[in-house]
Structure 1
Amino acid sequence: MVEPRSGASARPATGGPPAEPAFDLTDERLARAAWSRVAEPGDELARTLVSHLGAAQALAWVYAAARGPAAAHRELVALGERRAPEGLLGDGTSADERSARSPGGGGDPEVAATVLGAAAVPGGSPPCAGRVTAVGAAGPSRPAGRPPTPAVRLMRAVARWSPRLDGLDPRRELRVLERWGGRLVVPGDPGWPGVLDDLAPNAPLCLWVRGPLDLADAAGRAVSVVGARACTDYGRRVTHEIATGIGARGFTVVSGGAYGIDAAAHRGALAADGPTVAFLAGGVDRLYPAGNTDLLRTVIDTGGTVVSEVPPGSVPSRVRFLQRNRLIAAFGRATVVVEAAWRSGSLSTAARAAELSRPVGAVPGPVTSMASSGCHRLLREGTAVCVTDAAEVAELAGALSVDAAPAPPPGPLRAYDDLDGAEKRAWEALPLRRSVEVGSVARAAGLSVPESLAALGRLELLGLARPEGGGWRRARRADRLS
C-alpha cells in the first residue's frame, strides 16, 4: 500500500468495496468464526479490535472501512453514539473511570477510539457525542525509521483484511465442521480452555475442534511434548516412553500432529489409553501431514481432539506453524522438548512457554548429535531443566490437584510404574485393538518366549493385558474397569 500524501485519504487498496455480508453480523459466534478467516493467527491488531469492540462490531467496522474512510467514519460515529450517549457508558460511569476499573476490557468506546484513532476520519476529527475522540489524522509522512501513525497502521490492516471479506460466510465452514462431527468453541463457552487467554493480546479468537475431549478439563492436566520432525530412533523411543508414562499418570499429552517427535508423543499417549490433543496449523478438515492421517483419526476416535484456530479449508504455512506453537505452549502446564536442532521451531514453543511462566524441560542427547543441540542450548541458557523420564516430567508439571484432575486412574494403570523392564517391553509390544501370538510379542519386545509368557502373566494379574483368541492384547480401559 502506498502511504497517503498529506491531507490525502487513506483508502485500502482492495480493488473495490466488498459486498454486503451474507450472514448475521450481530451474531458474536459467527463474527468470531468469520474473523478466524479474515485475520491470520497472531494478528494482534485484529484481536485488539475484537477485545475492545466485540467481534461483531469490529467486523462491521472493517466492512465499513473497506468501503472507504468516510464510511468508516460514519460507522465509528454511530458506534460512539450507540455505546456512549451523552458522554457516559450507560451506568453513569465515565470512560476514564471504566478504563481504570477494567483496563483493556471489552466495549469501552474511549479505548476503541484510541485503537482506531483518526484512521477512520477523512481529514479531521469525528464529532462523536463528545466521547469517541480522534487521536490524530494521517498527516505528513514521517522520517524513515519512525513507526507508522495509528491511522496508517490500521488502514494497512484493513487493506490486508479486505480481500477476504468478499464472499465471506462462516456458516459454510461451520457446515463443513458439522459434517466432520466437529464444533466451534469460543471464549465464554463451558469448554473454552481459559489457559489460552494467557496469550492476550494474542489469544485465539475461536477454536475449530474435532474430537470429544473437553478442552477446558484437559488444559488443567496437560503436558506439551514437542521436538524435531527428523528425529532419531533415540528421540522417538524416549518420547514414546515419556508420553506413555505421563499418560498413565493422568496427564493429557499435547503436541502438533507432525512427523517425528510429535507423532511419537501422540502414539505414546494412545499406548497408555490416555487423551491427547493435536494442534494443527491448517484446518481440521484436512488432517496434516497426510502421512499422519491415520494417527490423527485414531486420536479423534479414541477420545482425543484435533484443534485449529483457522477454519476448515485453511492450508498450513510456515507462519501458521509458528503461531500454532504458541497454543501448544499455553495449553500445557509444562512443555518438554525431546529433540531439537539449533534453530528448530520447537525452540519457539519452549520460548513461548517460558514467557508464560510455564516450566520447560529438555531431554539431553549425545553431545555429538545435531538433533539434540537445541535441547542442550535450552539447558545451557537456563531456559529449561533437564528431564529424562516420565516421573521427572510429572514433577516438572506439578502434581494434579483434586480440582484440576479427573478421577484417579484405575489401579492397574498406576501399576505400570511398578513393572520391570521386560514387563514394560512386553506391554508396549501388545496391540490395543487385536490379539497377537506370544511369538510376535517376543520378537517385538526382544524377549525370549518364556520371558514373554512370564511378563504377560504378570501383566494379566495387574489388569494391563488379557488373553484373547489364542493370543494376547493390551487391556482396554473398559476391560480394566470390569
Structure 2
Amino acid sequence: MSTERTARATLTAIAEPGDTLLNRLIDHIGPAEAVETIRGGLLPDEMPVTEQEVQRLDRWRIRLATTDPTQDLAVCARFGGRLICPGEPEWPTTLDDLGPHRPYALWLRGPSDLRHGCLRSVAVVGSRAASPYGVRTAADLASDLADDGWTVISGGALGIDAAAHRGALAADGPTVAVFANGVDVPYPASNEGLFAEMARRSLLVSESPPGATPHRLRFLVRNRVIAALSRGTVIVEAEARSGALNTASWARKLGRIVMAVPGPITSRSSVGCHKLLREEGTILVTRPEEVIEAVGRIGADLAPPPHTPVLPRDRLEPVTRSVLEAFPARGQAGPAQLAAKAGVALTTVNAKLGLLAAAGFIERAPAGWRLTRSARQPHITTPETR
C-alpha cells in the first residue's frame, strides 16, 4: 500500500472533513509530509497560521497517537469497501471544485463506480420531517430520473433523502448516499435495511473512516460533497432552517443548478423551497423532464410540454365538432338552428346528428335535440373514449 494512501487514510481520521488549514498543508508539502508535520507539531515557516489553527494542529497531534490507518483499511476491506484518493481513476474531478474544502480521500462501500455514476447525477434532498406529499414527490422524481439513467445522490437521512434513495432503487437505478459517519455505521438505524440494499447494489460514501459516528457539524459539512458530486440539486421540501438549504447554498457557490419543488403555501415543510424560488437563479421544477432539461445537455434534453387532457369532443372530426359546438349549453335546438349557427348545410347537420347521438353526446328532445348530461360536463368521458 502506498505511503500517500496510508497518509490520506490517517488524515481522514484525525481532522474534520474539508479543513482549509489541512488542505493548505497537503497542497504545500503532500499528504505524507503533512502527517509527519502534524506529528512534530511545527508547521513550515512559510505557512502563517492563526491561533485557532494552532489549536487545531494540537488536536490533530493528540488524535494521531491513537490512529491506526492500517486497521481502518483492513476493516474497510473486510466488508468489501475501499478508499479512493485524488488523482485515482474513480475519483470524481468535480470534487476539486471545492478547492480548500475538498475531501482528503473518500471511503466507499458498494459495487458502483463513483466517478462514472457522477457524470450524469442529480442530488435530491429535503426535510427529515417530510410530509406524505414530499415523500411521494421525492420517490417519484428519483425513480423517473434513475429510469432515465441519472444517478440520484442524497444524504441517507430520514424523510426526503430516504425516499429519493428508495425511488431510485425501485427503478433498479443508481443512487449514492453521502454519510456523515463511517460507511459501516447505519445512521439513522431505521434506515439500516435501506443502507444494506444500497451497499449491495449501489454506493455508500463517507469522508470518515469505518466506525466513525456522526455529529451535527459533519452533517452540514458533508452537504458540500453532495452538491459537488452532482450537476444540480433539487430541494423537494425544506423548512425555514434546514440542512437542505445548506446543500443548495453549496450548489450555488459551486456553480451548480439549484432547483426547488413548490408545495402548499400553508406547509412549514415548503417554506424553504418557496424562499429559494424567490431567489434569482433557482429553477422551479415539478417533473423529472424539467430536472433533466436543467442539468442535461443544451438542446438535447429539453422537457416536452405537459400533456393537456384529451376530451371526448376533441376526438371528433372538425365538421362534427362544429355541429356539437353549435348546441346551447341548456335547452333544445332544431336542425335548422344548428345549421345556421355551425355554418353548414342542413343535410350535413342531419347526418351528423345521428353520429352524435350514437356517441352519447346528444339526445332527442320534444322540440328538437339537446346535449346529454355528460356532454354538458366535458371532463366526463363517454364509453367510446374510455
The TM-score bracket by the shorter chain reads 0.7 to 0.9
2:298 is the counterpart of 1:366: no
What is the one-letter code of the residue matched to 2:63? R
Q: Deviations over 1:96-149 (max 9, x none)?
A: xxxxxxxxxxxxxxxxx432x4xxxxxxxxxxxxxxxxxxxxxxxxxxxxxxxx
Q: How do 1:328-343 residues align onto structure 2 when only pairs under 5 Å count?
A: 328-343=226-241
What is the one-letter code of the residue matched to 1:245? D
Superposed displacement of residue 230, structure 1: 0.5
Alpha-carbon distance between aligned partners in 1 of 2:52 and 2:130, rounded to the nearest angstrom:
41
Distance 1:56 1:284, change over 3 A: same
Superposed displacement of residue 373, structure 1: 0.2
Alpha-carbon distance between aligned partners in 1 of 2:75 and 2:274, rounded to the nearest angstrom:
44
Alpha-carbon distance between aligned partners in 1 of 2:11 and 2:170, rounded to the nearest angstrom:
37
Partner of 2:27: 51
Partner of 1:347: 245
Partner of 1:133: none
SS of alignment partner, residue 95 of structure 2: helix
Alpha-carbon distance between aligned partners in 1 of 2:162 and 2:54, rounded to the nearest angstrom:
42
Superposed displacement of residue 294, structure 1: 0.5
Partner of 2:94: 195
SS of alignment partner, residue 267 of structure 1: helix
Q: Deviations over 1:212-258 (max 9, x none)?
A: 11111111111000000100000011111110111111100000111
Q: Deviations over 1:372-416 (max 9, x none)?
A: 0000000012252100011111111113999xxxxxxxxxxxxxx
What is the one-letter code of the residue matched to 2:176? V
Partner of 1:224: 123
What is the one-letter code of the residue matched to 1:260? G
**Cα contact 1:241–1:389 (8 A) shared by 2:** no
Q: Deviations over 1:73-107 (max 9, x none)?
A: 8xx5xxxxxxxxxxxxxxxxxxxxxxxxxxxxxxx
Superposed displacement of residue 271, structure 1: 1.3
**Cα contact 1:364–1:375 (8 A) shared by 2:** yes
Partner of 2:297: 399
2:82 to 173, 183, 206: 183
Distance 1:261 1:165, change over 3 A: same
What is the one-letter code of the residue matched to 2:99? A
SS of alignment partner, residue 283 of structure 1: coil
Q: TM-score, normalised by structure 2?
A: 0.75
SS of alignment partner, residue 314 of structure 1: coil
**Cα contact 1:283–1:311 (8 A) shared by 2:** yes
**Cα contact 2:125–2:236 (8 A) shared by 1:** yes
**Cα contact 1:229–1:258 (8 A) shared by 2:** yes
2:13 is the counterpart of 1:114: no
Superposed displacement of residue 42, structure 1: 2.7
Partner of 2:170: 271
2:27 is the counterpart of 1:27: no
Partner of 2:199: 300
Alpha-carbon distance between aligned partners in 2 of 1:151 and 1:376, rounded to the nearest angstrom:
40
| Unaligned ranges ≥5, structure 2 | 301-305, 310-386
**Cα contact 2:18–2:100 (8 A) shared by 1:** no
Partner of 1:40: 16
**Cα contact 1:285–1:312 (8 A) shared by 2:** yes
Q: Which has the larger radius of gyration?
A: 2
What is the one-letter code of the residue matched to 1:323? V
Superposed displacement of residue 278, structure 1: 0.3
Superposed displacement of residue 270, structure 1: 0.8
What is the one-letter code of the residue matched to 1:207? L
SS of alignment partner, residue 220 of structure 1: helix
Alpha-carbon distance between aligned partners in 2 of 1:283 and 1:181, rounded to the nearest angstrom:
13
SS of alignment partner, residue 196 of structure 1: helix
Alpha-carbon distance between aligned partners in 2 of 1:197 and 1:301, rounded to the nearest angstrom:
28
**Cα contact 2:236–2:273 (8 A) shared by 1:** yes
Superposed displacement of residue 168, structure 1: 1.7
1:62 to 38, 62, 75: 38
**Cα contact 1:48–1:201 (8 A) shared by 2:** yes
Alpha-carbon distance between aligned partners in 2 of 1:277 and 1:57, rounded to the nearest angstrom:
32
Computed over aligned residues only, the root mean square deviation of the Cα atoms, in angstroms, reads 2.2
Alpha-carbon distance between aligned partners in 2 of 1:318 and 1:253, rounded to the nearest angstrom:
24
SS of alignment partner, residue 201 of structure 1: helix
Q: How do 1:386-465 residues align onto structure 2 when only pairs under 5 Å count?
A: 386-399=284-297
What is the one-letter code of the residue matched to 2:294? L
% identical aligned pairs = 49
Q: Deviations over 1:415-453 (max 9, x none)?
A: xx99x9xxxxxxxxxxxxxxxxxxxxxxxxxxxxxxxxx
SS of alignment partner, residue 187 of structure 2: coil
**Cα contact 1:196–1:331 (8 A) shared by 2:** yes
**Cα contact 1:221–1:400 (8 A) shared by 2:** no
**Cα contact 1:37–1:310 (8 A) shared by 2:** yes
**Cα contact 1:247–1:253 (8 A) shared by 2:** yes
Partner of 1:240: 139
Alpha-carbon distance between aligned partners in 2 of 1:324 and 1:371, rounded to the nearest angstrom:
22
Q: Deviations over 1:17-38 (max 9, x none)?
A: xxxxxxx9x8010000000011
Alpha-carbon distance between aligned partners in 2 of 1:333 and 1:351, rounded to the nearest angstrom:
14
Distance 1:156 1:336, change over 3 A: same
Alpha-carbon distance between aligned partners in 1 of 2:110 and 2:299, rounded to the nearest angstrom:
25
Runs (4+) off by over 4 Å: none
Alpha-carbon distance between aligned partners in 1 of 2:98 and 2:120, rounded to the nearest angstrom:
18
Q: Deviations over 1:270-315 (max 9, x none)?
A: 111101000000001112111001011111212x100000101111
1:320 to 218, 221, 242: 218
SS of alignment partner, residue 294 of structure 1: helix
Superposed displacement of residue 156, structure 1: 1.8
Alpha-carbon distance between aligned partners in 2 of 1:350 and 1:365, rounded to the nearest angstrom:
17
SS of alignment partner, residue 200 of structure 1: helix
Superposed displacement of residue 356, structure 1: 0.4
